[in-house]
Structure 1
Amino acid sequence: MRIVVVGGTGLIGSKLVSGLAEQGHEAVAAAPSTGVDTLTGEGLADVLAGAAVVVDVSNSPSFADAEVLAFFETSTRNLLAAEAAAGVGHHVALSVVGTDRLLDSGYFRAKIAQERLIADSPVPYSVVRATQFFEFLSRMADSATDGDTVRFAPVLFAPMAGDDVAAAVGRIAVGAPLDGIIDVAGPERFRMDEFFADVLARDPRAVVTDPHASYFGAELDERTLVPDASALVGEVRFGDWAARVRA
């Protein structure tokens, strides 16, 4: 099966391309570096020729409200139009658990706009909402830093390994379209402030519990970032991933 992975040279995309190829699929990485630009439409018709599935794991280079909205709306419209013209039978997009509960954030308003465009398209689809990646936890800490203080709310989250994200997206991609949304999450749940206090124990920054600490511009309640019981659950535990990274 020919499967085109938009954003296929990034963290999740490269893992997804490798995993699909190992399963015997013709997995094609599509990105500006490979001559495919979803913002301008350059290269889309050629790369989608003969494709059965398109997986979009691309992300905006800017998180500023206007720029991120323009990225997801323009990219998604161009991609869906090209898929319809090429006869693609399944569009899969990677999103974020809790997106519909984070609308104070411009980034997540843009992700909702993307999801709505996908749902309104004639192309059959699946949206995979994932929890936070282990690989991006340092970025989360940096975004929560103000001077020598890191502020996190006392809320639950269930981060997961990039390998598990790619495996879940790949599993959905080779199956029948859901025409809906499915959540995927890590096998463990942590209280965010306590988790980062432990992870940053040797960091000169102090982790402070702040119920009003925002997550990329949105305030959180206890369960904003965790999925319900129907979610797919990954296999890699944080301690095992961290040990592997240190090794």
Structure 2
Amino acid sequence: MLSSIRPPAVAGLFYPADPMVLSAELASYMDLAQTPRDQISNTIAKAIIVPHAGYIYSGLVAAHGFSHIENNKHKIERVVLLGPAHTLYLQGCAIPTSTHFSTPLGNLPIDPSGAAKLAAYDAVTISNIPHREEHSLEVELPFLQHCLDEFEILPILVGDIAPEPMAELLELVWGGEETLIVVSSDLSHFHPYDVAKRLDRETCQKILANNSDISSEQACGCRSLNALSLQLIRHNLNITQLSYQNSGDCATRYAADKNRVVGYASFAIS
């Protein structure tokens, strides 16, 4: 197969395009997110939920999630990424025809076996078009490159699909301890600061309760979250919230507008 590389779409916008600057920024977020060693669970995270905004807004919250994969970093060989399609309407979900995704830190190979399993299903579109300008998966890749050794990725953009069929597709590529699941989602969008905190608290409680009826108003990655909740029940896994902020919490450094904030949370599943 000829190599086809999907170039970064939001480097220089959502995160630094210079690899040295990017690496330093990632290291800073990860250092800030490190929990004292005696508080870090010895259990291995099977999945994490992390936000996907610009790093100046959600990078620290995301780092709290990525800090919980380090116990398994030498075993992880594949990362299945699920995130919402922002740039176009999508029925079902979409995987790319590209063989690699590129970031300023290098190229990441796409898992051909997992892609082939998903491609056999009618609910799966095989196309680079939904992925071309999408940021929800791309912003997670530099964190993964910073935290892990060599690994493949399986990028899945999730559109209009019910929880049960999406969970069945996810089960096909669930794998064992060699596979990490990363669900990319922000929470509420463009509410006043205090309203957003209340709405997001309710959404986080639903996530922690394994509810599979989260709406798009509560989280843009609701369809991935709803499918994941069914997988947590199926595999008898536990979920822990790690962090919460919204874009208004960046106000002291970036003059964020507290009248129209976006919420971010991170979770670990083991």
Question: Which gives a bigger RCO, structure 1 or 2 (Cα 8 Å, sep 6+)?
Answer: 2
Between structure 1 and structure 2, the one with the greater Rg is: 1
**TM-score normalised by structure 2 residue count:** 0.28
**TM-score normalised by structure 1 residue count:** 0.30
